[in-house]
Structure 1
């Protein structure tokens, strides 16, 4: 017999911050270090900014209980944004929620970068690169990331290392690594694919072990007609940038 669970994905608000951080704190406290280290928590001020900018998303069940969360973060370097802090509670893994959160954040982060066509100086403005970090041991996340179209980033911008000071699992001194993560970026052509496919979704439905999870969208970036139109217009623009390079 299949059991159906309904959930929603939405942008977190300031009133959600303490509860979200509580979920992450509990994970860090209770999970083995090898697993909790994959959370890649951001400094509080960056987390707060992501929430205030509508760029931190949570998935909750019908009772409002936390299932998963992830954010998109501005860096000191305006040419890049980081997709990070992804956490899916153990009992909800296997429903591809990390992929759903990647899709949603790609759309939201891109929408916030739409150049102002009325300003001549901005006509050739490039979209900030979308970058994410994955620990080498976190093979499942690496697979999810590359399947969505992310490619290895050989030279990460220095701004990505701003959170390293609070890292709980820094690389050993003789490893030759500057950071414990491998970094990936999303090329424009694959970003266009992600946006196009996400706009076609009405919900996210996955099944595992006789449990069907249906996640409904409550995200303005994907529901507002003007925002949807803006994202639709971005798709051919991203593809034309790829061709011209």
Structure 2
């Protein structure tokens, strides 16, 4: 058994160009059907996610980029989108996409306040997945995301930057299928993150151990805030939340 070590942390402004270079290399070198899954965002949206502590990177023991993903504000303040997930090919199979989902669910939940018009305390978490990206769809559903039958107009803003839009003859408005996370499943994901001391997965006799250098999992005040969020999420009026998403 070979053991490898890595770290997950929030990106900082000094990381911007390096991260963009990694994504740029993927777009240039991967087949279009694969690189299109990155669902890139405009520079200002990407920079804003970094500034807000909502873009995360996984690095190996010598600081090389392994994976990254962010949380992005939408025109509709009642929603946030999880996007730009990229795991380099040599590091796939260790569950890093799932780890990045769990970390972003926690980060996107902190600091939000109740919206009295919808009786929701937290912006809904939405993720878009291309139908051909079956592996990502499986990971998304396994962590608790459910199909979103009526995506809001704000989710289609990123279509302007899409390199693989639906064919003109297609009835699709977007090349992605959208999923949302219910309050109960968000609470479950946060609890799992709070219970983790590190992330460890094994593939082909290679064990990867990822240290969680994430402030909201290390700082006791943030941990307490997340635990309070778990309690509140489970106390919300579930029927109202379900009607909001057309179930």
Task: Say yes or no: TM over 0.5.
Answer: yes
User: Cα distance, 1:242 vs. partner?
Assistant: 4.4
Partner of 1:6: 5
Alignment: residue pair count = 240
User: How far apart in 1 are the matches of 2:195 and 2:239?
Assistant: 27
Query: 1 CA distance for matches of 2:239 and 2:163?
Result: 42
Give unpaired runs (5+ residues) of structure 1.
none
Q: Tell whether the 8 Å contact from 1:188 to 1:242 is kept in structure 2 after alignment.
A: no
> Match of 1:212?
207
Aligned position for 1:52: 51
Comparing 142-151 with 124-133, greater Cα deviation is found at: 124-133
Which residue pairs with 2:164 in the alignment?
169
Alignment of structure 1 residues 66-105 onto 2, 5 Å: 66-105=65-104
Spell out the pairing of 1:23-62 with structure 2 (5 A cutoff). 23-62=22-61
Alpha-carbon offset, residue 112 of structure 1 = 2.7
Q: Indicate how the Cα distance of structure 1 residues 122 and 167 shifts in structure 2: closer, same or farther if over 3 A, else same.
A: closer
Match in the other structure for 2:139: 144
* 1:194 matches 2:189: yes
Instruction: Report the Cα offset of residue 221 of structure 1.
Output: 1.0
Single out whichever of 125-134 and 93-102 deviates more from structure 2.
125-134
When residues 125 and 150 of structure 1 are mapped into structure 2, their CA distance, relative to the original with a 3 A threshold, is: closer
Alignment root-mean-square deviation, CA = 1.6
Cα distance in structure 1, aligned partners of 2:119 and 2:143:
26
Indicate the SS of the match to 1:8.
Answer: strand
2-structure distance, mates of 1:244, 1:43: 36
Q: Give the match for residue 106 of structure 1.
A: 105
CA–CA separation in structure 1 for the residues paired with 2:210 and 2:92: 14
- Per-residue CA deviations over 1:180-224 (Å, capped at 9, x if unaligned) read 000000000000000011100000000001110000011111111
8 Å contact 1:189–1:242 — kept in the other structure? no
Aligned match of 1:185 in 180, 186, 191? Answer: 180
TM-superposed deviation, 1:158: 0.7
Structure 1 runs of 4+ off > 2 angstroms? Answer: 121-126, 242-245
Q: What is the rounded CA distance, in whole Å, between the counterparts of 1:73 and 1:243 in structure 2? A: 25
Q: Separation in 2 of the partners of 1:138 and 1:212?
A: 25
CA contact (8 A) 1:40 1:85 kept: yes
Post-superposition offset of 1:123:
11
Mind listing any 5+ residue stretches in structure 2 that lack a counterpart?
241-247
**Cα distance change, pair 123–143 in 1 and its aligned pair in 2 (3 A):** closer
Q: Hey, what does 2:243 align to over in structure 1? A: none
Please state whether the residue corresponding to 1:147 is helix, strand or coil: helix
Counterparts of 2:153 and 2:34 in 1: how far apart (Å)?
Answer: 26
Give 3-state SS (helix, strand or coil) of 1:22's partner: helix
- What corresponds to 2:154 in structure 1? 159
**CA distance in 2 between partners of 1:7 and 1:156 (Å):** 36
Once the two structures are superposed, what CA deviation does each residue of 1:69-99 show, in whole Å capped at 9, x if it has no partner?
0000001100100000000000000001000
